[in-house]
Chains A and B, each alone.
Chain A
Amino acid sequence: MSGLPGPREPGPLVLRGRSFPPGRLLVMAIVNRTPDSFYRPGLTWDEGAALERVHQVVAEGADILDVGGVPAKPGAEVTALEEMRRVVPFIAAIRAAYPDLVISADTWRHEVGRAACEAGADLLNDTWGGWDPELTEVAAGFGAGLVCSHAGGLPPRTRPFRVSYPDVVADVLDRVLGLADRAVRAGVDPAGIIIDPAHDFGKNSWHSLEITRRLDELTATGWPVLLSASRKDFVGEALGAGIDDRLSGTLAVTALGAWLGARIFRAHDVAQTRQALDMVAAVRGDLLPARTVRGLA
């Protein structure tokens, strides 16, 4: 971490003019334009079904939509052109339907990021940890936000193979702060920079549990932290739970992450995540209870 700037003062997250104060917990709803993502593959492959999901998650309280066209796991090649075909017209359609909604493009490719921003994306979710450095310039050029992630240096769409770290949290901090620093130098608005330890990416489940437990070390940097744990393998391995049985574990990690200061939560299950986060906010005193009469009659 040598040479990196010290903690910054937490401030509002600003994504192309839309501002979210530090106490506000944001749900980033996953909308995959893929036939083969790990959870409910093909659910929103059809454009009509995808738009239907958008309407649903907006109604359920999503603050950000995260649109992806390539699964994280290895598989059949998806070219940049094909990725654009999957996500760009769809982002344009969401933007037309919801002029004020924050739209994130889940991509590591700068060509796709550029086309996505032209279609209305406000945030580039670079899950593969800066694999394509030009993506940063795209974010700067469009005034878009940027997620700076840790993928352990793995190429996109690869699985961790016997990865080890002397200290995984130190490695995460080193990587994401380095990327954030580079983004600021490239002209990305610091108010739009988010850091993400990227659970499961370049990590075994022990590593993901460790970064969950020590998430406060990331939030202490002052950068807004994105927690992306929804139904991931580390939840499944911790609980011995199959893909369809990981919601409780996901919500537990969500609540812990919120308590430790994370601000954005990437989720498949939007309504449940919103409710879990509202509960944390109520406990913390950031959200008034909806209606209190028990013992007060």
Chain B
Amino acid sequence: MIVRAAVCPSPPLLARQLTGQADVFPELRAACAAAVPALLAAAPDVLVVVGAGSATATWDPDDRLDPSAYAPALGTAGKPGLPLALGLGAMLLDAAGHAGPRVLQAVAEQAPGEECLRLGASLADLAPRVGLLAMGDGSARRSTAAPGHLDPRAAPFDASVERALRDGDIAALASLEPGLARDLLATGRAAWQVLAGAMSAPHTPVGQVLYADAPLGVGYLVVVLGVPER
């Protein structure tokens, strides 16, 4: 079962070396840097990173982000083709000093909700104590300067996700509409629904929101979800 979960965003700029001389949004990095140790503090047997990819697949636990796809000058390193969300999740685990077992699980970005929920349930069964790090982002249409320009539905959509995570409202996450998420360029939808499938336990989780903002027009959420233990 899931003993604790965390949600972090997956913009390339989370990788410090991709932003040049400037440390952009240090408060976002700090929130992620706080969320992952909180996740590890639950002493999971295995840490599962889930994030969107082009197809649902398990990657080698030793795979790491290849920054050269985003910044050729930095040179090739890590695993070419590893989904960004998994690479950044692995990076966060490394930064927190996690050396224990890990699973890097990609979920197809366009996977239907049911498929995500089933995948989540199976991940929860991997070990008696599973920690889950769901890497994904809200809408990229939060402002006129956003990558996808402004869509008035973006802010309410992101707010509904934030509310669901804070309140442990698993049903609300499970019922997110893939078509709407796709329209809003909300790439985190599939990972959040995997999380929903993994957490459909008898207890309602309690979320602590560490960061919720869209400084460049993309919704970033950092949340730690605790599960009351008996």
List the B side residues contacting A295 at CB < 8 Å.
Answer: 12, 147
How far, in angstroms, from A94 to B36 measured CA to CA in the complex? 54
How far, in angstroms, from A296 to B20 measured CA to CA in the complex? 12
Interface with B: A44-52, A62-70, A127-135, A285-293, which one? A285-293
Cβ-defined contact, B19 with A296, below 8 A: yes
Of all chain B residues, which has the CB nearest A284?
B73
Minimum CB–CB distance from A295 to chain B (whole Å) comes to 7
Q: Which of A285, A288, A296 contacts B13 (CB 8 A)?
A: A296
Which chain B residues numbered 45 to 100 have a C-beta less than 8 Å away from chain A? Answer: 70-71, 73
Which chain A residues numbered 254 to 297 have a C-beta less than 8 Å away from chain B? Answer: 285, 288-293, 295-297
Q: Which of B18, B21, B218 contacts A290 (CB 8 A)?
A: B21
Cβ-defined contact, A289 with B216, below 8 A: no
Of all chain B residues, which has the CB nearest A285?
B73
B217 at interface, CB cutoff 8 A: yes
Cβ-defined contact, B12 with A289, below 8 A: no
B159 at interface, CB cutoff 8 A: no
Minimum CB–CB distance from B157 to chain A (whole Å) comes to 17
B180 at interface, CB cutoff 8 A: no
- Considering only CB atoms and an 8 Å cut-off, how many residues of chain A contact the other chain? 10
List the B side residues contacting A291 at CB < 8 Å.
Answer: 19-22, 24
Cβ-defined contact, B20 with A288, below 8 A: yes
Of all chain B residues, which has the CB nearest A287?
B21
How far, in angstroms, from A288 to B208 measured CA to CA in the complex? 36
B140 at interface, CB cutoff 8 A: yes
> Is chain B's binding surface mostly helix, strand, loop or mixed?
loop
Q: Which of B20, B21, B22, B217 contacts A297 (CB 8 A)?
A: B217
Cβ-defined contact, A288 with B147, below 8 A: no
Cβ-defined contact, B22 with A290, below 8 A: yes
Cβ-defined contact, A288 with B21, below 8 A: yes
How far, in angstroms, from A290 to B24 measured CA to CA in the complex? 10
Q: Which of B19, B21, B71, B146 contacts A293 (CB 8 A)?
A: B19
Q: Which of B20, B146, B217 contacts A292 (CB 8 A)?
A: B20
Which chain B residues numbered 123 to 156 have a C-beta less than 8 Å away from chain A? Answer: 140, 146-147
Cβ-defined contact, B147 with A293, below 8 A: no
List the B side residues contacting A290 at CB < 8 Å.
Answer: 20-22
B26 at interface, CB cutoff 8 A: no
B112 at interface, CB cutoff 8 A: no
Cβ-defined contact, B21 with A289, below 8 A: yes
Cβ-defined contact, A292 with B147, below 8 A: no
Known: A291-B20, A291-B21. A297 touches B13 (CB 8 A): yes
How far, in angstroms, from A291 to B20 measured CA to CA in the complex? 5
Q: Can you add 19 more A-B contacts, CB < 8 Å, to A289-B20, A296-B11?
A: A288-B21, A289-B21, A290-B20, A290-B21, A290-B22, A291-B21, A291-B24, A292-B18, A292-B19, A292-B20, A293-B13, A293-B216, A295-B12, A295-B147, A296-B12, A296-B70, A297-B147, A297-B217, A297-B218
Closest 4 CB pairs of A and B: A289-B20, A291-B22, A297-B216, A296-B12
